[in-house]
Every structure is written in C-alpha cells, then in structure tokens.
Amino acid sequence: LSEVLEHEQDLPSRTTDGHDIPLMVNTGLAVDAVSSLKARIGGVGLYRTEVPFMITERFPGEQEQTRLYREQLEGFAPLPVVMRTLDIGGDKDLPYFPIEEANPFLGWRGIRVTLDHPEVLMVQLRAMLRASQGLDNLQVLLPMVTNVDEVDDALRLLERAISELGEDGIVVARPRVGVMIEVPATLYQLGALAKRVDFFSVGSNDLTQYLLAVDRNNPRVAELYDACHPAVLSALARLAAESRDLQVPASVCGELAGDPAGALLLMGMGFSSLSMNAPSLPKVRAAVRRVSLQAAQQLVDETLKFDSPAAVRKHLDQRMAEWQ
Ligand code: PEP
Ligand code: MG
C-alpha cells in the first residue's frame, strides 16, 4: 500500500469529480525536509514559530528570527506561508520564560502573552516582515484569540511594525492576517472577526479540548478527547458554512485535517484547505483522490445524524473501508 501511496504523491489532490482540495503542510523546524514537498502542496498552512524558540536559551533576537523566517518563506515561495505568532503557555513552555499556573490551558497562552509583552510581539512581527521582503508570501496568524479587542490590538502593532520598517527605508506589503478559531467563543463571533481579518484557521486540537472540557494531553481522559464528537463536528460544519457566507476562507490545521476520515469530512463541510504534518500527506491525498466531493458532502450529512462519538467512528470506519 505504501508504494501505491508513494506513487500517488505526484498526482493532484483532486476528487473523482474534479475538485482540487489544497493540502498544506504544518512546519516548525527542518525546512529542508519539507520544502522538497513544494511541488505537491499548496503551501505552509501553519508554521509554529514557538518550535524554534523552544530549542534556544533565550528569545531569539530580531536578526536571528528574520533568518529563521526567511528560510521558511524562501523555502516555499511563491506558495503562501502562514506564520503563527508565538503560541506559548498551555503545554508549550520556554525554559527561559517559565509560566507557573494552576490551569495553564485556561491561562496565559498565545496572544494573551504576546499582547502583555508587546516588545516580544513587535520583534517577531518586524522579523516576519523583514523576512518577507521581495517575496510577498507571508501570512500572519494569531493564536488563542478570545475577543475582537485582541485582534484590534495585534493589528495596531502590525501597522506599527510596518511603519517602523518604513522609517528605516524597508517597504513591505501588508500581509494577509488570520485568526485561529480554537476558543469556542470565536465560533459565535465570526461576523465580527470577518470584518477584521482575511482568513480563519481552525485549530481543531484546542477547539476539541475546549468544547469538550477535556485536557488534550491527560491520558486519564484521553478516551473522552475526540474531534469526532458530534458536538465538535456540528460546530465545524456550522463554522464552514458561516465562513462561506461571510466569504472568508477557512482552513483547518489541527490533527483532524491529517486524519483521512477527518479530512474527507472537512472537505465535505466546505473548508477551503487542509493543513497537516508532512507524514499525513500521502494518506490524506489518497483519501481525497478516492471520493467525489458529493460523496464527502453526503458523508457529512450521514455522520451528523449520529448522537455518540462511538457511533460516528463506527460509521466513518465502515465508509473508509468501502473507499479503500
Ligand atoms: C490546534 O490547536 O489545533 C493547533 C493547530 O495548534 P496547536 O496544536 O499548536 O495548539
Ligand atoms: Mg492550538
């Protein structure tokens, strides 16, 4: 089977009825290893900037960050690279920036940290912008957004970063900006967010954790953590439909997008692209190539009728076996 999948890797991620579903890759380190995939993907759907920060001894400076980001942007140009601003806190701690809290996943995480430390965010934004000079494939993504004020504050800092560079004679285009949809509150604020940003990127890992109130890393409750819980799927389906009505492209960059059955559901719901870890690309591409968009839409309709996560899984397994 792996030989078959390997052979298919050069073929488009196109459904049997001719719809191209852009597959993107999630990156953090080792740009070389994944940039060889360039001809086969739609770009980088999620570059987790905290990953390189985790292996340094202090916050990398502006020059060092510019070098890191340039490597990503150049490695994939002209394809888009979605760079997420620092998403630390929760389970992602920097050794040189310890955060001690009783409830880290409900605490100081993602944009909450960087808006409290605008000096950190400004260095990062300026480095991203500097790195994008002449390439124009940078997109900026804001993690753990809970309300529109955070977005407005981040956008103001971005404008400031652009004008600061301008004062130094460095003229850069304003990148497209998106928000992660991963805090349930944002599901009910899509209209307000759509007025402010260019795209949505769904973090299904955190969205699942917060919708189900299940720690994504706690083995004791691991059985309860399921992105195919009917409530999560129905939230995702609504989100896809509403984003389409708002004419805001919505992609998914959580693990669900890298699961073949999950990917077919998301495609059927109408998400505009799917971003996953590189090792998941072959099986997702193969799944996409074996069904029609219409069949995937039908799979969504069928699946949304089940009340329990186990029933959803059973049904998906059955359908996936038929589509082998
Ligand atoms: C997510 O929450 O689904 C996501 C993609 O971000 P991370 O896994 O880095 O929190
Ligand atoms: Mg997340």
Residue-wise pLDDT for 138-158, tens only, equals 999 999 999 999 999 999 999
Using an 8 Å Cβ cutoff, are 84 and 59 in contact?
no
pLDDT value at position 295? 98
18 Cα: distance to centroid of ligand 1 (angstroms): 30
Q: Could you tell me the two tokens for 2?
A: 């792996």
Cβ–ligand 1 contact at 89 (below 6 Å): no
d(CA 322, CA 81): 35
pLDDT value at position 10? 85
Residues near 319 by Cβ (< 8 Å), separated by ≥ 6? 261, 299, 302
HEC string of the chain?
CHHHHHHHCCCCCECCCCCECCEEEEECCCHHHHHCCHHHCCCEEEEECHHHHCCCCCCCCHHHHHHHHHHHHHHHCCCCEEEECCCCECCECECCECCCCCCHHHCCCCHHHHHHCHHHHHHHHHHHHHHHCCCCCEEEEECCCCCHHHHHHHHHHHHHHHHHHHHCCCCCCCCEEEEEECCHHHHHCHHHHHCCCCEEEECHHHHHHHHHCCCCCCHHHHHHCCCCCHHHHHHHHHHHHHHHHHCCCEEECCHHHHCHHHHHHHHHHCCCEEEECHHHHHHHHHHHHCCCHHHHHHHHHHHCCCCCHHHHHHHHHHHHHHCC
| Residue nearest (by alpha carbon) to ligand 1 atom 8 | 205
Compute CA distances 293 → 159, 240, 287, 300, whole Å.
Answer: 40, 15, 11, 11
154-197 pLDDT, tens per residue?
999 999 999 999 999 999 999 999 999 999 999 999 999 999 99
Percentage above 90 pLDDT, the chain: 91
Cβ–ligand 1 contact at 144 (below 6 Å): no
Q: Which residues of the chain have pLDDT under 70?
A: 1-4, 30, 32-33
- Angle between helix 204-212 and 230-246 (nearest 10): 130
Q: What is the mean pLDDT of the chain?
A: 95
pLDDT value at position 35? 75
pLDDT value at position 56? 93
pLDDT value at position 6? 75
pLDDT value at position 3? 67
Interface predicted TM-score (ipTM) = 0.99
Q: Residue 176 — φ and ψ, nearest 5°?
A: -65, 145
| Residue nearest (by alpha carbon) to ligand 1 atom 4 | 203
Cβ–ligand 1 contact at 206 (below 6 Å): yes
Q: Which atom of ligand 1 sits closest to the CA of residue 48?
A: 9
Cβ–ligand 1 contact at 133 (below 6 Å): no
Cβ–ligand 1 contact at 49 (below 6 Å): no
Ligand nearest to the CA of 262: 1
Q: Could you tell me the two tokens for 170?
A: 């460095």
pTM of the predicted model, to two decimals?
Answer: 0.96
Q: Which residue bears the tokens 């998403």?
A: 87
d(CA 35, CA 76): 6
218-247 pLDDT, tens per residue?
999 999 999 999 999 999 999 999 999 999
Q: Which atom of ligand 1 sits closest to the CA of residue 205?
A: 3
Question: Residue 192 is which amino acid?
Answer: A
Cβ–ligand 1 contact at 110 (below 6 Å): no
Using an 8 Å Cβ cutoff, are 63 and 131 in contact?
no
Cβ–ligand 1 contact at 253 (below 6 Å): yes
pLDDT value at position 211? 98
Cβ–ligand 1 contact at 50 (below 6 Å): no
| Residue nearest (by alpha carbon) to ligand 1 atom 10 | 206
Q: Give the environment of ion ligand 2: residues with CB less than 5 A.
A: 182, 203, 206
| Residue nearest (by alpha carbon) to ligand 1 atom 1 | 203
17 Cα: distance to centroid of ligand 2 (angstroms): 33
| Residue nearest (by alpha carbon) to ligand 1 atom 9 | 48
pLDDT value at position 311? 98
